[in-house]
Copies of this chain bind each other. A is one copy, B any other.
């Protein structure tokens, strides 16, 4: 019960954050030359779409990760709150990045700002996992031990990856945005769970979503367990 209320609260926060993103696209300054104004906002639209995908995929991830937990305790609640903090904050760097690219000013700063937010987010995911999985504190009994170490490795790789993305942001803001999109697609395709030999018959649970979903900032392996 309590676990499901924390999930419902988190779902609400995800749903609101993803919908608020649209407010990050600046209104036209004038309507005389509207088509030019709208066209000039394409970086805002691109940043909007990338952040939308990131939050959407993270929702799926959150859903799956919590599926592997037997219960929730106070520590996990606070780490989850930290995670939600980084997600609800995302509309701000999204708006800044989009506007900065549209203006062609401060693009490096804006990209690094967005990248750092994502890196902190990756750390929050890892902290959540390390806390919940350490000594199997909150894991379901059915979560296989051999996958635990792999998941920890993959979460760590995620942190490294998003730290490296900060470096890319230093070099070029557009390259960074493309990298963010690529990372989102990579996690969405969930290559880990699709590698040969991983396909299992599994129980006919009618629960396809839980199996084989991979998401931004988290190892896809986890999702087989939920």
Contact = CB atoms under 8 A, between A and B. Distances in A.
A8 interface: yes
A12 interface: yes
Interface string A18-61: 11111101011011111101100000000011001100110110
Interface residues on A, range: 35 or more
Identical chains bound together, number:
4
Contacts of A35: 106, 109
A225 interface: no
A152 interface: no
B13 A18 contact: yes
Contact of A19 (B20, B31, B49, B56): B20
Given A23-B23, A56-B81, A57-B81, 6 more contacts: A19-B88, A22-B92, A25-B92, A31-B106, A38-B96, A48-B89
